[in-house]
A and B are shown apart, each in its own frame.
Chain A
Amino acid sequence: MASINDQAKWKPRRLHAGFIGWGFILLSIIGISIFYFYPMVQALILSFQSGMGASLEFVGFDNYIRLFNDPTFTSALTNTFIYLLIQVPVMILFALIFSVLLNDPTLKFRGFFRTAIFLPAVTSLVAYAVVFKYLFAADGLVNRFLLNINIIDQPLQWLNDPTLAKFTIIIAITWRWTGYNMIFYLSALQNVDKSMYEAARIDGASALQQFFFITIPLLKPIILFTSIMSTIGTLQLFDEVMNITSGGPGNATLSISMYIYNLSFEYTPDFGYAATVSYVIVFLVVILSIIQFKVAGDRD
């Protein structure tokens, strides 16, 4: 009897709990639908339209065809991939090295170093970009330093030379985001069992071997996560380019996001084509993430 009674009581309570649960989720579902999904669908519709400002009309796949004949888009895409292919691996390597160094329990002032390396990640994007712009100006600190130690005899045109300008942007992003990624690795390292390193040492493994055969395999899921996040971040790169070089010289540092900005606000506005270019970013993020999952991800 008692059990039947219990069941009878239990059912409505379960329903009730479900209702409250759904109530909580509903808020975010509505929020995400209104502020994410609805604009995404609208942008997709917009990407099939073209025209000046408010006078848009449907043009079918014209915008997508136009992409392939647009040298500015091609150079924006190339630049973004150069940033991606050089900057993301370098940054992840630095972040890994820093996190392993700073995880050493015998290191003094660990807290200080961790904070110092993480600190760039809390600075405002615009503020740090402006600082970098002045550091790398023709008469900036970097040039003065290099001149004073006699490495160069003429100031380098960091911001006006196509190759050096790309390099400057890469240095800036690496400075800003290395500490951020390091924190992920540091926290993951806290979950690595110390006895594994102990066993490895007993077996005679060197520090380098420990790094490559214990640390990296165990951090693999986190490395995958950070590389996907960094890839997405680099594809959306805007603030640094806008503030340090405004895409120049020529289009040597133009990123895809900055081209979208130019199409919407700098030139005669064509929001339709700008939406098409932004869907290219969506497409690339999906493709690159799938590749990264296939290459690095385990099935679980």
Chain B
Amino acid sequence: MIKNRNKWISTALITCFTVFILAACSSNDNESGSDEGGSTNSDSIVVWAWDPNFNIAAINLAEEHYEEEGFTLEIQENAQDDIVQRLNTGLSSGTMNGMPNIVLIEDQRAQSFLQSYPDAFYPLGDYFNTEDFAEYKIPPTSLDGEQYGLPFDTGVTGLFYRSDYLEEAGYTHEDLVDITWEKYIDIAKDVKEETGHPIFSFDPSDFGIIRMMIQSAGTWFTTEDGEINLENNEALKESLEILHQLVDQDLVSLHNDWSGFLASFNSGEAATVPTGNWIVPSIEAEESQAGLWKMAPIPRLSTEGSVNATNNGGSSFYVLNIDGKEAAAEFLGATFGSDIDFYNDLVQEVGALGTFIPAAESEGYQFENEFFGGQQLISELSEWMEDVPAVNYGLNTYGLSDILVEQFQQMLNGKSVEDVLSDAQTQAENQFR
């Protein structure tokens, strides 16, 4: 009896175990089937993008404008970090399973994908005219003369400011137009003295502000040929000195994440926000401040060649080299690549500013923004967009930024800017060979 019972129990256990494993496997299959359905279902074009109110809304709008029969689009929302991770793991594994047809990639990251995974992306040069787009968008989205990215939004910058605070400190709009960062520091001192408000809020781990400054002078952390360009980079030196003065003299407040950044101006603390135009919806989110905000061009460096226009952020579409690439490329070319009506609707319905120059004449771009005292934001921004100096962001934008972020901490402790730059140069040359 006992023997029998033991046998029965062990059989039952094995059966349970087998059933469990089978069940686990099959439910996995189901999950991956529905998750990445696009890759198995070759009829629909799969798109990865990250912001439902911005780029996903733009893609939906594009689909409405596209009248190709039998064309279906499947948009999968992924956080931007997840897209970067999934592309990296997927592409490096060598199989294209589960990859989307169209993916949105940030411009400052694009070169690292294009160069790390040759042949993974499909050239789009035949599907649109690169001359229709803001010039600065082209170097980051192309490689060896082939155009891989279709430029989407612009990160063209503005100096968004609280007109009430600036007035209290004795400044009018004209005093802020086409100024240098040096002048901006003087203004910051007056604002601090008269109103007690910090001039802007700064994240010590994010060097977006430095990247904006150096691009306005047409330089970057790397040269055209990809050589690391920190030590003798005059624009970078001036930028670090300006930031150092602002932080050292306590003219800025500090935050360390996105919500802290939003709070810095929604709460009415910061007097200005120097950044990309994509911040406008977030500024407008605080309705009680309607009419108090205005926009001026971003300050420039005193370094030769610096202009009052630069860029922060912005992304472009890429087509992966898998089945359905022609259909995906045709879709992008016919909408984001050439459709003026679409761009007109995009600006009015989604509030997204593209880099397609012919659209600037359209009616939607002349919109007067009541929140900013009736200023024609879009029209002004798209004018500045054409002036943004083109730079090649190269491979290591984020790696080099992190090195400088760390060195900047030492600069706050008294290290000289020359030492900071030469140490950063040595460190970078060791790290990114």
Which residues of chain A have a CB within 8 Å of any CB of chain B?
20, 52-55, 66, 69-72, 75, 133, 137-139, 157, 159-160, 162, 245-252, 262, 264-269, 271
Tell me the bound Cα distance from A247 to B402 in angstroms.
Answer: 10
In the complex, are the beta carbons of A55 and B118 less than 8 A apart? yes
Chain B positions within 8 Å of A162 at CB level: 409
Which residues of chain B have a CB within 8 Å of any CB of chain A?
10, 81, 84-85, 88, 91-92, 94, 112-113, 115-118, 120, 204-205, 254-257, 260, 263, 395-396, 398-399, 402-403, 405-410, 427, 430-432
Select A248's contact among B94, B205, B431, beta carbons within 8 Å: B205
Tell me the bound Cα distance from A139 to B371 in angstroms.
Answer: 28
In the complex, are the beta carbons of A52 and B205 less than 8 A apart? no
Tell me the bound Cα distance from A177 to B256 in angstroms.
Answer: 26
Contact status of A262 and B402, CB under 8 A, knowing A160-B204, A160-B254, A162-B409: yes
Select B88's contact among A70, A246, A265, beta carbons within 8 Å: A265
Chain A positions within 8 Å of B88 at CB level: 53, 264-265, 269
In the complex, are the beta carbons of B116 and A252 less than 8 A apart? no
Tell me the bound Cα distance from A262 to B204 in angstroms.
Answer: 18
In the complex, are the beta carbons of B399 and A267 less than 8 A apart? yes
Tell me the bound Cα distance from A267 to B410 in angstroms.
Answer: 22
In the complex, are the beta carbons of B406 and A53 less than 8 A apart? no
Chain B positions within 8 Å of A268 at CB level: 112, 115-116, 395-396, 399, 432
Smallest beta-carbon distance B140→chain A, Å: 14
Contact status of A52 and B402, CB under 8 A, knowing A66-B430, A245-B256, A248-B204: no
Select A251's contact among B84, B91, B254, B402, beta carbons within 8 Å: B402
Tell me the bound Cα distance from A262 to B112 in angstroms.
Answer: 14
In the complex, are the beta carbons of A249 and B205 less than 8 A apart? yes
Beta-carbon nearest neighbor of A251 in chain B? B406
In the complex, are the beta carbons of B84 and A265 less than 8 A apart? yes
Beta-carbon nearest neighbor of A71 in chain B? B427
Contact status of A246 and B205, CB under 8 A, knowing A55-B116, A137-B260, A138-B260: yes
Chain A positions within 8 Å of B260 at CB level: 137-138
In the complex, are the beta carbons of A52 and B115 less than 8 A apart? yes
Select A138's contact among B94, B255, B402, beta carbons within 8 Å: B255
Smallest beta-carbon distance A294→chain B, Å: 36
In the complex, are the beta carbons of A267 and B396 less than 8 A apart? yes
Select A249's contact among B115, B399, B409, B432, beta carbons within 8 Å: B409
In the complex, are the beta carbons of B256 and A271 less than 8 A apart? no
Please, could you name 12 A-B residue pairs with CB atoms under 8 Å apart, sorted by A? A54-B117, A54-B120, A66-B430, A139-B263, A248-B204, A248-B256, A249-B405, A250-B204, A251-B402, A262-B402, A268-B396, A268-B432
Smallest beta-carbon distance B169→chain A, Å: 23
Select B92's contact among A53, A133, A159, A266, beta carbons within 8 Å: A53
In the complex, are the beta carbons of B406 and A75 less than 8 A apart? yes
Contact status of A265 and B85, CB under 8 A, knowing A133-B257, A250-B408: yes
Beta-carbon nearest neighbor of B10 in chain A? A20
Chain B positions within 8 Å of A55 at CB level: 116, 118
Which secondary structure dominates chain A's binding surface? loop
Which of B115, B120, B396, B406: most chain A CB closer than 10 A? B406
Tell me the bound Cα distance from A157 to B432 in angstroms.
Answer: 32
Chain A positions within 8 Å of B10 at CB level: 20
Contact status of A54 and B92, CB under 8 A, knowing A20-B10, A162-B409, A268-B112: yes
In the complex, are the beta carbons of A72 and B92 less than 8 A apart? no
Tell me the bound Cα distance from A263 to B94 in angstroms.
Answer: 19
Contact status of A266 and B116, CB under 8 A, knowing A20-B10, A246-B205: no
Select B205's contact among A66, A137, A250, beta carbons within 8 Å: A250
Chain A positions within 8 Å of B120 at CB level: 54
Tell me the bound Cα distance from A139 to B84 in angstroms.
Answer: 32
Select A54's contact among B94, B257, B405, beta carbons within 8 Å: B94
In the complex, are the beta carbons of B116 and A54 less than 8 A apart? yes
Name 12 extra pairs, CB < 8 A, besides A249-B409, A265-B88.
A53-B115, A53-B117, A72-B406, A72-B431, A75-B406, A157-B254, A160-B254, A162-B409, A250-B405, A265-B85, A266-B402, A269-B88
In the complex, the 8 A-B pairs of residues with the closest C-beta atoms, listed nearest first: A53-B116, A248-B205, A268-B112, A250-B409, A267-B399, A250-B406, A52-B116, A249-B204
Tell me the bound Cα distance from A157 to B260 in angstroms.
Answer: 13
Smallest beta-carbon distance B160→chain A, Å: 22
Tell me the bound Cα distance from A52 to B113 in angstroms.
Answer: 9
Smallest beta-carbon distance B244→chain A, Å: 14
Chain A positions within 8 Å of B263 at CB level: 139
Tell me the bound Cα distance from A248 to B254 in angstroms.
Answer: 13
In the complex, are the beta carbons of A52 and B406 less than 8 A apart? no
Select A247's contact among B115, B205, B254, B410, beta carbons within 8 Å: B205
Chain A positions within 8 Å of B398 at CB level: 266-267
Smallest beta-carbon distance B215→chain A, Å: 19
Chain A positions within 8 Å of B396 at CB level: 267-268
Tell me the bound Cα distance from A250 to B406 in angstroms.
Answer: 4
Tell me the bound Cα distance from A157 to B253 in angstroms.
Answer: 11
Tell me the bound Cα distance from A133 to B257 in angstroms.
Answer: 10
Beta-carbon nearest neighbor of A267 in chain B? B399
Beta-carbon nearest neighbor of A246 in chain B? B205
Tell me the bound Cα distance from A139 to B112 in angstroms.
Answer: 38
Chain A positions within 8 Å of B84 at CB level: 265
Contact status of A52 and B254, CB under 8 A, knowing A137-B260, A251-B402: no
